[in-house]
Amino acid sequence: MNNGMKHYPGMLERPAQEALVSDLRQCVQKAPLFVPLMPRTGTPFSVRMTNLGGLGWVSDRAGYRYQALHPDLGTPWPQIPPAILDIWRAISGFQADPEACLINFYQGTAKMGLHQDKDEEEFAAPVVSISLGDTAIFRFGGTSRGGKTQSLKLSSGDVLVMSGESRLCFHGIDRVMTGTSTLLKEGGRINLTLRRVTKA
């Protein structure tokens, strides 16, 4: 696998996954999912998203950025629940807590094109990604666009860490395999992406 990329299949057992989903349902009531738009073109993303933590990642015609307030409500994002911080603390190897937890919700044919996570100031901290619900085909390559890529299945309860060289690798979601998990009543997939944004 890419240098610094680590996959922990089934790190979260079913009860822990269920507890996370119930935490997330409460959070999404306070910070509803929104449809991000591509910078300039305004094309809607196929995923819906929201955030937890002091800073949330948003995208609209003006560009990609982190901001402290929900774009529709103008209210602060809910705090990152302790169970999610515990996963970061157990696995990131980084001394400071994450400031952002992006929640991506995939339904139906939603996918995510290859991109780098590079809107942060602190690249010494890894990206920690948690998968819940239906299995996704994750694609990743190196740090330049157009290079060779490989794919990896991410299933409910899996945790993926991108650190070192892989911190800035191109990655995305080709598709989600409908009906592969019973975790979410309405089906689909939730991905949580934890990131340190400012210099620790």
Residues that bind ligand SIN (CB under 6 A): 104, 112, 129, 136, 138, 154, 171, 173, 191, 193
Q: Which of Fe ion, ligand SIN, none sits in contact with 135, Cβ below 5 to 8 A by type? A: none
In the complex with ligand SIN, which residue's Cβ is closer, 44 or 95? 44
Contacts with Fe ion by CB under 5 A lie at 117
**Amino acid (1-letter code) at residue 196:** R
In the complex with ligand SIN, which residue's Cβ is closer, 171 or 196? 171
User: For residue 162, which of 116, 121, 109, 113 has the smallest C-alpha distance?
Assistant: 116
Beta carbons of 102 and 51 less than 8 angstroms apart: yes
In the complex with ligand SIN, which residue's Cβ is closer, 95 or 168? 168
Q: Which of Fe ion, ligand SIN, none sits in contact with 163, Cβ below 5 to 8 A by type? A: none
Q: Which residues on neighbouring strands pair with residue 139, listed in sequence order?
A: 151, 172
Q: Which of Fe ion, ligand SIN, none sits in contact with 138, Cβ below 5 to 8 A by type? A: ligand SIN
Q: Which of Fe ion, ligand SIN, none sits in contact with 173, Cβ below 5 to 8 A by type? A: ligand SIN
Residue 160 half-sphere exposure toward CB, CA atoms < 13 A: 25
User: For ligand SIN, which residue has the nearest CB?
Assistant: 191
Q: Report residue 197 as tokens.
A: 């944004």
Report residue 2: phi and psi, to 5°: -50, 145
What is the C-alpha R_g of the chain? Answer: 16
